[in-house]
Amino acid sequence: MSHVDEGTLHAYLDGELPPAERTALETHIADCASCRATLTEERALRERASAVLGSARPAERPAPPLEQLRREPKRSPWRVRRSFAWAASIALALGVGYSLRTPRVPAAATPAQPVALVQDRAASTQEEKAPAPPQRRPNDHRAARVADELVARDAARADSAALVATRVRGAAVAPAAPTLADSIRVDASVVSGAAARAERDRSTAPSLFVDGAPARQSMAANWPVISRRVAKTILGEEPVGLPGLETRTFRRDPETNAVVVEQALDSSTVIQIFQRPAGGAYPYDSSEAATASASRARPRANEAEGLFRERGNRLFARFVRGLRVEIKGPLSADSLNRLLEQVAPLP
């Protein structure tokens, strides 16, 4: 064998030389001091080049949830999240005040034209708000937008049914995690009417219906009231809810192991938080998610969501530890999404 060229040496160092050539090269190197020296040089060059290149790298940040990409390819989710906490609290306050003075409007029986309510993409929502105040750019003032939505709620409700659900990816919410808002990501999305009903039929747990939601709501209202202790037994862990809100009742679905926690925003506004053990249907490993970095833990749960997405439907829920959680109440979808983000094990 003649002396080895540097390309072959690099392929060898890269582990990309076919086995036969590799054996031949190693045989030659053993006898050829010149090629051994060259190999040493090329190895140093290769490592140096790798180090040089490696010194110019972006700060590694966690990958956003996979299923969020389709909706928000241009936006880093992290910047959005921070405003959620206070936006949710404002939504709460506004919701309390508003619901006190708003008569309940009967829900539309059948969603004729589902309304798309997507966080930060309120364009379609705006269209529903004929009597609403002047439009704002979606990113301008979240609190103001929430207020708009609350004001426009009845108008939107009368026109159509919005099916909105929320799904949270990935990271576990540690029981007392102070970084709650950072450890979860919410992906609010839209379910079209027919598709959502199909999805709902497949699901044993109630889906989340914001406006015009029919069956499940009344059904849940008839679910037997249980004690918190029983709820814990059914769920296998502490039930979850919105910390700081009065918990009115715990109910159980007579047919499944779902539990609903009813919490009062005020005397006339009740938020229902459906929850059930995520079980095997949702590949969620809270211990992994709690300890691993967000980017590493995430895609595990993404798989299931990716599949749902691919069917053109979405199943929305948030996972809090081992529970799959959905939320429902007489608030706008956006507000509910933000409230859902606050859900944590009850103290």
Partner 1 sequence: MPDDIAEVYRNTYPALVRFLYRKVWDAERAEDLAQEAFARALVHRPENTRGWLFVVAANMARDEARRAAREKRHLILLKSEPDVFHSSPEEDIDAATRTKHVRAALDELTPRDREALLLWDAGMSYDEIAVQTGLARGAIGTTLARARRRLVEAYDAGLEGGQHVARG
Which residues form the interface with partner 1 (CB under 8 A)?
A: 5-12, 14, 16-17, 42, 45-46, 48-50, 52-61, 63-64, 66-67, 69-70, 73-74, 76, 295-296, 298-300, 302-303, 306, 309-310
The dihedral of CA 231, 233, 239, 245: what is its sign?
Answer: positive
Task: Collect contacts of 70-79 with beta carbons under 8 A, ≥24 apart.
Answer: 70/309, 71/118, 71/121, 71/187, 71/189, 72/120, 75/120, 77/185
Closer of 9 and 196 to partner 1 (Cβ): 9
Q: Name 323's bridge partners.
A: 277, 320
Q: Which is nearer to partner 1, 66 or 191 (CB)?
A: 66
Q: How far is the CB of 34 from partner 1 (least distance, A)?
A: 17
Considering beta carbons, is residue 14 or 201 the nearer one to partner 1? Answer: 14
Tokens for 31?
Answer: 């006898």
Spatial contact of 146 and 335, defined as CB atoms under 8 Å apart:
yes
CB nearer to partner 1: give 63 or 93. 63
Burial of 121 (0-12, 13-18, 19+ CB in 10 A): middle
Is the dihedral angle over the CA atoms 121, 122, 123, 125 positive or is it negative? positive
Least Å distance, CB 286 to partner 1, is 18
Q: Rounded to whole angstroms, how far apart are CA atoms 180 and 283?
A: 21
CB of 175 to partner 1, least distance (A): 26
In angstroms, rounded to a whole number, what is the distance separating the alpha carbons of residues 108 and 113?
Answer: 11
| Least gap, CB of 307 to partner 1 (angstroms) | 9
Q: Between 1 and 215, whose beta carbon lies closer to partner 1?
A: 1
Give the distance, in angstroms, between the CA of residue 26 and the centroid of all CA atoms in the same chain: 52
- H or E stretch at 264: strand 259-266
Amino acid at 297: A
Shortest distance, CB of residue 298 to partner 1, whole angstroms?
A: 7
Q: Which residues contact 15 (CB under 8 A, 6 or more apart)?
A: none
Residue with tokens 């300890």: 291
The span from the CA of 229 to the CA of 212, in Å, is 33
| Smallest distance, partner 1 to C-beta of residue 166, A | 19
Complex with partner 1: residue 298 or 318, whichever CB lies closer: 298
Q: CB nearer to partner 1: give 41 or 246.
A: 41
| AA letter at 113 | Q
Closest distance of CB 94 from partner 1, Å: 33
Q: Residue 76 or residue 204: which is nearer to partner 1 going by CB?
A: 76
Beta carbon nearer to partner 1, 129 or 185: 185
Structure token digits, residue 137: 């750019």
CA distance 238 to 227: 12
